[in-house]
Chains A and B, each alone.
Chain A
Amino acid sequence: MHDGRRQVLAAANRAALALGLRPGMALAHAQAMVPDLQVAEADPEGDADALVDLAAWCLRWSPLTAPAAPEGLWIDATGCTHLHGGEEAMLAAILGRLERAGINARAALADTPGAAWALARYSARPITIVPPDAHADAVALLPVSALRLEDDTVQALRRLGIDLVGQLVSMPRAPLARRFGSELLRRLDQALGREAEPLTPVVPPEAVQQHLAFPEPLLTATALEIAIERLVATVCPLLEQVGLGARRLDLVFERVDDAVQVVRAGTARPTRHAAHLARLLRERLEGVDPGFGVASMRLVVTLAEPLMPTQATAALDGKENGEVDLAPLVDRLASRFGESRVFSLLPVESDVPERAVRPAPPLAPLTAAIWRKDWRRPVRLLTPPQPVEALSALPDHPPAIFTWRRIRHRVRRADGPERIAGEWWRRDGEVAAVRDYWAVEDEDGHRFWLFRRGDGADPATGDLSWFLHGLF
């Protein structure tokens, strides 16, 4: 990069930083320090384009992402974190994916974009998560340059002895505005959440979308519902033309005060059933705050999959064929409870009870049960198994008495032992491990599934402690 007088470094990667090179250093100086330095001409426009692409790639995490030039990305995580296993897990996953793509990134999550911007750059840790309403405290101890200010302003503040954001917050506003202009206070308010900061969302390229602007801003839920129906009614024929069905829809509300809100709806199976899509979007409406009114709405199909027309089959009795379409039900449950909480169960070929079942996405092709029906299995499985105190004669007698939750159960009848050996091909620790399972019935007729670690003879197989694993 040329700063007008000489060639300077615009940016340096981690290896170069380790060698003592810094952005802003003269190129000649840098080459003197590192003779075999690899130099590439800075390309700000190319970088900006790449950043937009990266923001579009981040749409997988949240429906609202935006580039934050020159080197950052905004991701509006409102209502998205639970889909990715929580805030911490989501940020870690994003950084992990970027790392694999060769991008060293830092992430912060806060109530306001300004605070998140500051913490991502100035926090000591690569991942910073600020609890709700704690962003003011979190930014108070950061340097004033964390407020996205011009270099001149930062220098001037430093000269006045104002180094930290917290000092700025406690100062009277009027003199600050007179001395530094409104920009300083605007940035401060944006970081503290006193002033809204709308993001300009990226729109994925080639997505099927429809925009609807209103002459009068919409305020009521009914009006928004009608608008949703219109948008869906125009988008569905567009999808049909290209032979696609929607898997994920983003509905962007642009408010009169330039704030942008997004709701996202997903489907389990590609669909272009207008009534179903409209209903999914309507159910998300309660999370939308229309503020002073919604000026326009945009419906974007962010994820679409091929959907071929199918032949409608009707049986002679006038009913549809026996297949029940569960997809609309799954969509509605998933949109309310989260995708991971609606599931089917797949049998797994394993004798270890914890591994005999695996949750699978609903509507996945399911296999028939492979479990042996003549083996006793409890209805409720306790995870993890709960330790109990039991009295039994070694090596293979059922427990005579066991105590669970301070209640003593005298065993009247028992069936066992059913020996389940560890799966050494899965984990090294299970090479010798053995569990002896007993189904027992106490004096009142309640049945329990107990196991003892170890076969009762060889100490290597287990420590002979007893556990309650399930209830019949």
Chain B
Amino acid sequence: MAATGKAARLEELREQVARLEGHGAGHARAVIPFGVPALDAGVPGGGIAMGALHEVAGAGPDVEHASAAALLAAGILARTTGPVLWASEHFDLFAPALAAVGLEPARVLHVEAGRDVLLAMEEGLRHPGLAGVVGEISGRLHLTASRRLQLAAESSGAVAFALRRGRRLGEALLQEPTAAVTRWRVTCLPSPPPLPHAPETPGLGRARWLLELVRCRGGEPGSWIVEACDAQGHLALPADLAHRPAAAPQRRGREVQHLRRAAS
């Protein structure tokens, strides 16, 4: 009896905190689930929260182009409805790739905002009716600036992705605190042979990512090895790894190697 009373009280307190943080109001509760039970269970709310800011960055040499990060964001947005604003500093996206993960070009409005990507993102987030806003940010993302984006996202209920990319974006800059609800890192992993039963067959299979939840408000960090977005933007757990946890220490060494290569 005492135990259930304690649980109920905890639940009540959690709701109170959520209300204080602005997650209590109707639409802000909505989430876009990954559709992968292991992933959804690891993220509070069971997916990417609408009406919130999420940070996504690449790792190693991919920090500069954030291509896997862009695909992840596009795949998540593909499963929403409504227009999407994509703000970049210099436009270098190739729309067929976005369409291949389910984000149709007709849904996306692009803006080439130069140094004012944050401003463009905020304009988009304050506009009612957008499904999501993606901004490719090469510089620092200050706590105040990200807080503004988070508040704007809460006001309209759109999901916001800050793609951190840039040649000079070091690990230290990526670790600075921001107001984002979640912070993800996508690392490309070597993919297995396209046909598991015939390893000698040439060709490329589905790409494989290490998806790390580096920081998460109200949740625990975690990491998963996943297969990249399919035509509907869904991630999947690789069949051969589905029941194994990600081997984190091994990856660290590889990343150091990346950085050394990038520096040389």
Contacts and interface: CB of A to CB of B under 8 A. Distances in A.
Interface in A434-472: 439-441, 443-447, 470-472
B203 A413 contact: yes
B104 A369 contact: yes
Given A373-B231, A379-B70, A472 B127 contact: no
Interface string A322-335: 00111011101100
A472 B111 contact: no
Main secondary structure of the interface of A (DSSP, over half): mixed
A447 B202 contact: no
A381 B94 contact: yes
Which residue of A328, A414, A444 has the most chain B CB atoms within 10 A of its CB atom?
A444
Interface stretch (B42-50, B60-68, B142-150, B176-184): B60-68
Nearest to A469: B94
B2 interface: no
A369 B104 CA distance: 7
Contacts of B188: 444-447
Contacts of A347: 95-96, 99, 105
A71 to B, nearest CB: 40
A357 B104 contact: no
A345 B109 CA distance: 8
Interface stretch (A34-42, A106-114, A295-303, A336-344): A336-344
Contacts of B114: 337
A326 B204 contact: no
A379 B113 contact: no
Contact of B261 (A324, A344, A407, A441): A407
Interface in B219-238: 231
A368 B104 contact: yes
Contacts of A440: 204
B12 interface: no
Interface residues of B, number: 58
Interface in A348-378: 353, 356-357, 359, 362, 366-369, 371, 373, 375-378
Main secondary structure of the interface of B (DSSP, over half): mixed
A413 B191 CA distance: 9
Interface residues of A, number: 55
Contact of B190 (A324, A336, A407, A444): A444
B105 A369 contact: yes
Contacts of B33: none
A326 B92 CA distance: 23
Contacts of A158: none
B105 A441 contact: no
A379 B123 contact: no
A344 B254 CA distance: 39
B111 A342 contact: yes
B207 A324 contact: no
12 contacts: A329-B130, A345-B110, A353-B96, A368-B106, A373-B100, A380-B70, A406-B264, A407-B264, A413-B193, A414-B204, A445-B207, A472-B97
